[in-house]
Chains A and B, each alone.
Chain A
Amino acid sequence: MTFSAKRWREDFPILRPSAKGRWVYLDSAATTQKPEAVLRAVDDYYRRYNANVHRGVYRIAAEATERYEEARQRVARFIGGDPRGLIFTRNTSEAINLVAYAWGLDNLKEGDAILVTAAEHHSNLVPWQLVAKRTGARLRVIPLDEEGHLDLSQLPELLEGVKMVALGHASNVLGTVNPVEEVIRAAHEKGALVLLDAAQSVPRMPVDVKALDCDFLAFSGHKMLAPMGIGVLWGKPEILEKMAPFLGGGEMIGRVEWEGSTWREIPWKFEAGTPNVGGAIGLLAAVDYLEKVGMAAIARREEELGQLMARRLRELPGVVVYGPRGQRTGIVAFNVEGVHPHDVSQILDEEGVAIRAGHHCCQPLHRLLQAGSSCRASVYLYNDEEDVDRLVAAVQKVREVFRVPG
């Protein structure tokens, strides 16, 4: 069965061709576009049953609560996790900060280590730097090989004294998928916990937290068809139960006295204040949509397009493509020799092709690649071979305008 991007594309109003022709969106690693089904679900909530959740007795308050909790169940099933461990956050960054603060401040001390990788997004690096500073713990880094794969040859030594491994699952720059099972197994043997930054994996491949046996998993709704402002932290219930709350406020309390308060059970202990109900309902619709397309099919398709894009770009003289030559996701970072990424993306925009230019929140990685910044093209289920042709033709145009030799 062939994958019909064209058919899925019709579900996305923003991607419909304009009078100027078809616009090619290749920035889904930053945020994806939204299908009708998601837009309708959010619209329906606000038009028909908008009410604050929990404690409301009237009909639509009950309906809103029911749908919000259904979203929790549904998203937990999507990642194969216990719904009691599923906490709604704003995004991946907030989910990681929750663990860094609520777990880190009470469990890290001087002499402990936190292990990250050289390819981490700032979201999975800066929170740990902040908490390391407060606790006296130290950050240690798993290096990369020339192709961008994790170099795990020193893993046992690197794990000495480590309490937390904060690990990107799929890179937002290199297109790599890290062998997280191996790292998780080794970390658990040494008594360390593992948090997976799954912002780029949950949207584009099947992810099962039970099979992976990770302790925490963080991802963003907006990178998987849902609205902005809804994200997820999943954690093992037995670990979450022992953690102190992150934010205090309404909804998360048991009983409040002047001397102190008790907390609600998980996951609500970690959801202070009015949550993003419309966002959670949008995420529910997004997950339904993704399962209709099929996560395994999405992963296969992305790999195909990623390979094609990397190969076609590498064929152009004066173009460098970062990351592995073998297996990869549909996220491809590259540079055109002598032309700044801003100039590349400006010309691509004129050709109707949207890509991202910059350091993609990975400054340490770009230093490693010896590039101040890069261009990044990333595909999703609505992209196809024709989009890759358009990208390649537009990069050719860049080479003409800037007279790149070769």
Chain B
Amino acid sequence: MSLDDLYQELILEHARYPHHRGTLADPTVTLDAQNPTCGDEIHLQLKLSGDERKIEDIAFSGHGCSISQASASMMTDLVLGLSVKEALEKVQAFQDMMRTGEPREGLGDAVALAGVSRFPVRIKCALLAWMALKEALEETGAM
């Protein structure tokens, strides 16, 4: 495992020009999450459709390292348009990939992050956005 795998072109692209970065005018749910050891922060916003419980829009802001920014960008691409249940399955798949290091199908660009699992201190960076999404979805589920 070398640094070139960690900092693949695709990851650097997403970090440099993140997708869905910003804020929503009319979010259904807003969630702030932090990684207290390094101070990384994410503010995640979701707009859910009334009855179908689909993610109609998504945006994130905050600051963090290239891995956390790229991961958030890839995640927002992936879950836009999915139902709450489908999105939660994606979160689970991503968590599994971080744990095992095995690339998972159906994760879109985020599969490029499989190698992060071999840099234990960086796993938390990659997971930050996904944990925020999980918490946000669970919060809306309870509503």
Q: Do A and B interact?
A: yes
Find out whether the CB atom of A402 lies under 8 angstroms from the CB atom of B66: yes
Find out whether the CB atom of A342 lies under 8 angstroms from the CB atom of B65: yes
Find out whether the CB atom of B122 lies under 8 angstroms from the CB atom of A342: yes
B25 touches A (CB below 8 Å): no
B119 touches A (CB below 8 Å): yes
Find out whether the CB atom of A358 lies under 8 angstroms from the CB atom of B66: no
Find out whether the CB atom of B7 lies under 8 angstroms from the CB atom of A373: no
Give the residues in chain A near B41, CB-CB below 8 Å.
Answer: 372
Find out whether the CB atom of B39 lies under 8 angstroms from the CB atom of A343: no
Give the residues in chain A near B122, CB-CB below 8 Å.
Answer: 342, 346
Q: How many residues on chain B are close to A (CB under 8 Å)?
A: 18
Shortest B8–chain A CB gap in Å is 11
Q: How many residues on chain A are close to B (CB under 8 Å)?
A: 17
Find out whether the CB atom of A373 lies under 8 angstroms from the CB atom of B39: yes
> Bound state CA distance, A373 and B40, in angstroms?
9
B125 touches A (CB below 8 Å): yes
Q: Which residues from 118 to 138 on chain B have a C-beta closer than 8 Å to any C-beta of chain A?
A: 119, 122, 125
> Bound state CA distance, A373 and B119, in angstroms?
20
Look across to chain B and name the residue whose beta carbon is closest to the beta carbon of A338. Answer: B16
B64 touches A (CB below 8 Å): yes
Shortest B87–chain A CB gap in Å is 27
A223 touches B (CB below 8 Å): no
> Bound state CA distance, A340 and B40, in angstroms?
10
Give the residues in chain A near B38, CB-CB below 8 Å.
Answer: 342, 357-358, 373
Query: When each residue 1-45 of chain B gets 1 if its CB lies under 8 Å from chain A and 0 otherwise, what string results?
Result: 011001100001000000000000000000000000111110000
Give the residues in chain B near A359, CB-CB below 8 Å.
Answer: 39
Find out whether the CB atom of A358 lies under 8 angstroms from the CB atom of B39: yes
Interface centre among B12, B66, B122 (most CB of A within 10 A): B66
Give the residues in chain B near A341, CB-CB below 8 Å.
Answer: 65
B85 touches A (CB below 8 Å): no
A347 touches B (CB below 8 Å): yes
Shortest A336–chain B CB gap in Å is 12
B99 touches A (CB below 8 Å): no
> Bound state CA distance, A358 and B64, in angstroms?
11
> Bound state CA distance, A343 and B6, in angstroms?
10
Number of A-B contacts (CB under 8 A): 41
A339 touches B (CB below 8 Å): yes
Give the residues in chain B near A346, CB-CB below 8 Å.
Answer: 3, 6, 119, 122
Of A343, A350, A363, A366, the residue contacting B65 (CB under 8 A) is A343
A256 touches B (CB below 8 Å): no
A57 touches B (CB below 8 Å): no
Look across to chain B and name the residue whose beta carbon is closest to the beta carbon of A401. Answer: B7
Find out whether the CB atom of A350 lies under 8 angstroms from the CB atom of B66: no
Q: Which residues from 46 to 76 on chain B have a C-beta closer than 8 Å to any C-beta of chain A?
A: 63-67
> Bound state CA distance, A373 and B41, in angstroms?
12
Query: When each residue 350-381 of chain A gets 1 if its CB lies under 8 Å from chain B and 0 otherwise, what string results?
Result: 10000001110001001000001100000000
> Bound state CA distance, A375 and B120, in angstroms?
20
Decide yes or no: A372 and B66 within 8 Å by CB, A342-B125, A401-B7, A402-B12 being known contacts: no
Query: When each residue 83-126 of chain A gets 1 if its CB lies under 8 Å from chain B and 0 otherwise, what string results?
Result: 00000000000000000000000000000000000000000000
Find out whether the CB atom of A340 lies under 8 angstroms from the CB atom of B39: no
Decide yes or no: A339 and B66 within 8 Å by CB, A358-B37, A373-B39, A402-B12 being known contacts: yes
Shortest B118–chain A CB gap in Å is 12
Give the residues in chain A near B67, CB-CB below 8 Å.
Answer: 342-343
Decide yes or no: A340 and B64 within 8 Å by CB, A346-B6, A346-B119, A346-B122 being known contacts: yes
Give the residues in chain B near A358, CB-CB below 8 Å.
Answer: 37-39
> Bound state CA distance, A343 and B3, in angstroms?
11
Interface centre among A340, A347, A359, A373 (most CB of B within 10 A): A340
Shortest B65–chain A CB gap in Å is 4
Look across to chain A and name the residue whose beta carbon is closest to the beta carbon of B63. Answer: A372
Shortest A103–chain B CB gap in Å is 30
Shortest A210–chain B CB gap in Å is 40
Pairs A–B under 8 Å by Cβ, sample size 13: A340-B64, A341-B65, A342-B65, A346-B119, A346-B122, A347-B3, A347-B7, A363-B39, A366-B39, A372-B39, A372-B63, A373-B38, A402-B12
- B: residues with CB less than 8 A from A are 2-3, 6-7, 12, 37-41, 63-67, 119, 122, 125
Closest A-B pairs by Cβ, 9 of them = A340-B65, A342-B65, A350-B3, A343-B66, A343-B65, A372-B39, A373-B39, A359-B39, A358-B38
